[in-house]
Each structure stands twice: as C-alpha cells, then as structure tokens.
Structure 1
Amino acid sequence: MKNQFWSKNPLPPYFGKPTGRNGMKGIEDQRFNFEPSVTHITEETRSPAEKAIFRNWQKKQTSESREMINLACQIGKRGHKQIEYYFNGDSTPCPVILKRHWEHLEPVLNNIHNIRLLKGYVFHHYEGFAGQVRCVGRLNNYPESVIEFKFSNSVKPTVYPEQKLQVAAYIAALNRQYGQPYGVNINHGIIITVTPYEVDITLIESQELMEYWEKWKLRVGQFWSQQRNIA
C-alpha cells in the first residue's frame, strides 16, 4: 500500500459533503441523502443546565480568551491535517504552533499500523446520524479500532464522556456502512489526547463501548423527538 502505516486491505472512502438542511448541520452523501452530524446532535441534546453553563461561559469571554480559543482551534485543525500528511508519507513540515504537541504525539503515531481508513465519512441512515472518522487502524497489539485524536492546550489531558459517545457512534456507523463485504466488525475505540506537555491514550473496551452506544441511541432519539416537536 502507501507505506508501512497502511493495511493491504484499505476501506474505500465514501463521498461526504458537510452542509446544512432545515436548521441542522450535517453531511450529505453522493445520493444527496442528508444526516445530522454527531457533533450537531451532541450540542442540541445537552441538558438545559449544560447549555446555560455554556452561554454564561461565552458571555464572560474577553478578547484575550477568545484569541486563546482561536489558537486552540487552529492547533486542532492543523494537528489533524499534519497527522494525515504523516500517515500518507507527505513530508510537509510541522507548523510552529504545533511543534510542542507534535513532539509528544509523533512517537505514538509510529506505533499505529494496519490503517484501513483515514478521515472517512460514515453514515448511519437507520438511526439517523453521520460523522467523520479520523482513523481506523491498530495501536501496538491492541485490536483494530476507531482512533480519535484530540488536541488541547491544557496542562493535563482530559477525556470527556461526550468524546466516548462520539467514538461509539462512529464505530456503529462504520460497522453498518462497511460490514461483512469488507470484514469490518470493530468493537474497540482509542482516544489519543495530546497537550504541549504530554500525551494520553484512553482505550475503550467492548463492554464500555456498548454502554456508550446505548447512551448514544437515547441521545439520537431525543434529538429526533425535539425535531418533530419543532416541526
């Protein structure tokens, strides 16, 4: 295949177009079928208390803190792009703002192998959601997994429940989309969180993953119920 990181049996990428429809943010496939994104569903189904906390936080932002948030967003976008370059054998140099993160992340990337998909769109038309998987591959001797990368400027890496919900959703969509024809039956997830100071690897075993999948289905059901009420 492309290089030592890649599997000899990669998955064919599906077409996806990020777009909006009926006030929802989501992804459209090649047949113009639209599904709301995992991120949009997550945001819309937060509790009233969580939404209030977020609104209050937004009000308290100063120009300096907004600059910090923008910088963090840039680091996240460039970080994911740099991972793509790295796994595809592209020698594009690491941006200066990413160097401290990259020093911690690169040794971990070198232990990822048998990559079958990188930045691929996935759709779960039965449940009604879509998303974009960052990586499907293996880390060391861990089973084939959906691997998500999170960039943070915090001192200590933190993994949030919503991130595990995201991974569970992506795995379910991936298994449904590719399934038996491609030998895809993933039941493990990995979240790699990197800060300027360290990197954290969170492994999600099959039992925990199933628990988050059940929670995610409830969130999706809540979302579509809210949409019917709006209509």
Structure 2
Amino acid sequence: MLVFKRMWFVRGASLPVRTLFTGYRLSSPKRRSPYNFSNSERYSALVKSVMSFRVSSQNPESLLAEDDHLYGPVIASPPSSKSSGTAKPEATHPFLNSSKTPETEEPVLGFPARILLNREQGRTLVPSVSRILQQTLSPEQIFHLERWKRRMIAELGEDGFQEYSQNLFRQGKRFHSVLEDFLTLGATWKDKSPAETPEDSPEVQGYMQSVSHILEDISAVRAIESTVQHDALNYLGIVDCVARYRGVLCVIDWKTSEKPKPFLGNTYDNPIQVAAYTGALNSDGNYKYQVENGLIVVAYKDGSPAHAHQLNSELLLEYWKKWLLRLEEFKSQRSNHVTSAFSEKR
C-alpha cells in the first residue's frame, strides 16, 4: 500500500493541514486462455502421458500460456455432439456372441493360442483398431500431441526425435517379448533374477519388476499376441493376452509409462481399444469362447508397482458403444475420401 502526504495551507490558519491518501496499485485482470474450453486438466495429462521420457522443463500449462502470448486468442468452436459423450452410434452391434457361452471352467492344459496376422488372406484392406483410433482423434487431442511433437523436435532435432521414438518402441517390444516368454511357459518373475537375463536393458527389467505382483494373479492363459477379426464390422487387431486375472477371464492390454496412471481416465483411448479387441474376439470363430471383462496394466520402468485397471462387463459395454462411434467416424472419413478421389478423376 502506498501512502502519499500532501501539505495544504488554509487561508487564515497558521498551521498546515495534512491530508492522507491511500490506494492500491491496480492491475488488469489476467487474460483467460481460450484453450480452457478443451479441458486443460484432461489434456495436460494427455501430453504428460506421451512424454514418457522427460526432456523439457516446459509443462502443459506453460505451453498453453506461451501459445496464447505468441499467437493471440483463438476462437474455439463448441465441442461437437460426439465429443460430449452423449452421442449414440447410428447402428448398434451386439458385443457378445449369442452362439458362444462365457467360459466357466479352466481350459485344457497346453500352449496359449497365437494366431499370426497374415495379410495375404484377404486382410489387406481390413483396417486395424490402432489405425482407426489414430485417425479419429479429437481436434483437442491432435493439437496437444502435435504441439508436444514440435517441442520435442525443436529440442532434439529430427534425428534425435526419431531415435527417441525408436528407443521407446524397442523397449516396449522387448517388454512384450519377455512377458510372452513368461506367460507361455507358465513361469513367474520370481523364477528368475535380473542377473539371469543380462541381455535385457535396465528399463525392461524395471518393467518386469513393476508387473511382478500382477503376474502372480494371472492364470489360465488362453492367447498371447493373437490376431482377432470382426468380420461383420470389418476390422482387426492383435490382443496382448487373454487370461484369467484373479479368476476372471479378461482381454489384457499391457502398457508402459514413466508417469503414474493410477486412474482409468489416465489411460485415455486404451479402454476403447480393449473393448474393440474383446468384441472382435467374441465375433471371431477361431476362439470358441467369449470374454466379458478387460484389464489394462500400466508398467513403469523404474520398477514401481504397476497399476491394474479392471473393466467389468458393464463398463466394457459402455466403451464398446464409444468404439462403435469411432468406427462410424472412420468409415465416414474413408467414404468421403473415396468420393472426393472419384470426383477428381472425373
């Protein structure tokens, strides 16, 4: 608070009169970022989830502020009805297969099924679950992911970013390979020590240590890295694992991260992916059983305990409806592309 003293002399008076003025230094209100419409908390976590290797001191909030400062306000259109979470698919399709019954007994002992993807068997034009989800990201998701990618390239360079991405891919692939060996042979992490697997990087050993307590609750493995295809809806995918978790048969998806993901909401499109895989498996005649539950396991390379997010039948059915919406959007995009290409040829 600032105090100003001013001397005033009143005519006919011999003493000065002091008058005190007090006041506060006012500042203009902080301008609100127009990006707030896109749910800053949600998409801040999205950027953090893809930044599995921290190389920048920037955080999502500072990036939003920087964009606002450099490029000025952005006029944001209201979210579409599909992104509001209230939209329903135009055509519904059953999640379960009426010709199959849920399995209640342990399977016959043997190696887990592994149906390899063979593009020569008429599957060339069948899109994958990953491709469909990638091409139907919301505008907000695309904005934040592209912003993160540009920042990474600015700091690492094109070659450095490519190397960084390849390292993440190799670590994830090796982690899945080690998991496959353990689950195929029916072993547990306690059967081996890190000294017995010197070929594995510290990161992979950390991932395995992270999921060790999860593996103790895995039994009756039915399939590993196996292709599933939904003929009626025309899409396919590769499930990481089908097994019982604490006695419940689940489609299991293994994920890696350096950032904690203690809540299902931190996994973003992963539940939709699991629902798509499960629906395809239930439709696929190569599998004589059907699955009603899912499980997402997030492993950490520092060895901290993995988070296991269970999807019961009711929750998985809700994500199945969201998958049908994404599938409809993908087919609409492809139809518009074909129509546009045909018009150009004419």
Q: Report the TM-score range of the alignment, normalised by the length of the smaller protein.
A: 0.7 to 0.9
**Deviations 1:159-210 (CA, angstroms, capped at 9, x unpaired):** 423000000000000000038x72x121100011111222101000111111
Partner of 2:311: 204
Q: For the Cα contact (< 8 Å) 1:123–1:173, is it kept in 2?
A: yes
| Greater mean alpha carbon deviation, residues 54-63 or residues 207-216 | 54-63
Instruction: Give the letter for the 1:110 counterpart.
Output: E
CA drift of 1:56 comes to: 1.6
Aligned twin of 2:139: 48
2:255 matched residue in structure 1 = 150
What is the number of residues matched between the two proteins? 214
Deviations 1:26-46 (A, max 9, x none): xx3634453111111001111
Note if contact 2:213-2:305 (Cα within 8 Å) is conserved in structure 1.
Answer: no
Distance 2:282 2:111 in 1: 14
- TM-score, structure 2 length as denominator? 0.56
Q: Distance in 2 between matches of 1:10 and 1:103?
A: 24
Deviations 1:100-149 (A, max 9, x none): 221121232132111111110011121121110011110122x2110111
Deviations 1:85-105, CA, capped at 9 Å, x for gaps: 112238882612311221121
Partners of 2:323 and 2:120 lie apart in 1 by 22
1:128/1:220 contact within 8 Å kept: no
Query: Which of the two has greater strand per residue?
Result: 1
Structure 1: gaps (5+ residues)? 18-27
Counterparts of 1:16-165 in structure 2, within 5 Å, are 16-17=117-118, 28=119, 30-32=121-123, 34-61=125-152, 62-63=155-156, 66=161, 68-89=164-185, 93=197, 95-96=200-201, 97-141=203-247, 143-156=248-261, 159-165=266-272
- Structure 1 position 216 matched with structure 2 position 320: no
Which structure 2 residues correspond to residues 185-200 of structure 1 after superposition, within 5 A? 185-195=290-300, 196=302, 197-200=304-307
TM-score, normalised to structure 1, is 0.82
Summarize the Cα distance change of 1:105–1:43 in structure 2 as closer, same or farther, 3 Å threshold. same
What SS does the aligned partner of 1:79 have? helix
1:14 aligns with 2:119: no
Structure 1: distance between partners of 2:214 and 2:275: 22
Large movers: runs of 4+ above 6 Å: none
CA RMSD across the alignment: 2.6
Q: Give 1:9 deviation, angstroms.
A: 6.8
Q: Distance in 2 between matches of 1:145 and 1:42?
A: 21
Identity percentage of aligned residues? 25
Q: Is the 8 A contact 1:121 1:133 kept in 2?
A: yes
Change in CA separation of 1:130 and 1:54 when aligned onto 2, cut-off 3 Å: same
What amino acid is aligned across from residue 82 of structure 1 in structure 2? V
- For 2:107 and 2:258, locate their aligned partners in 1 and report how far apart those are by CA, in whole Å: 30
User: What SS class does the counterpart of residue 185 from structure 1 fall into?
Assistant: coil
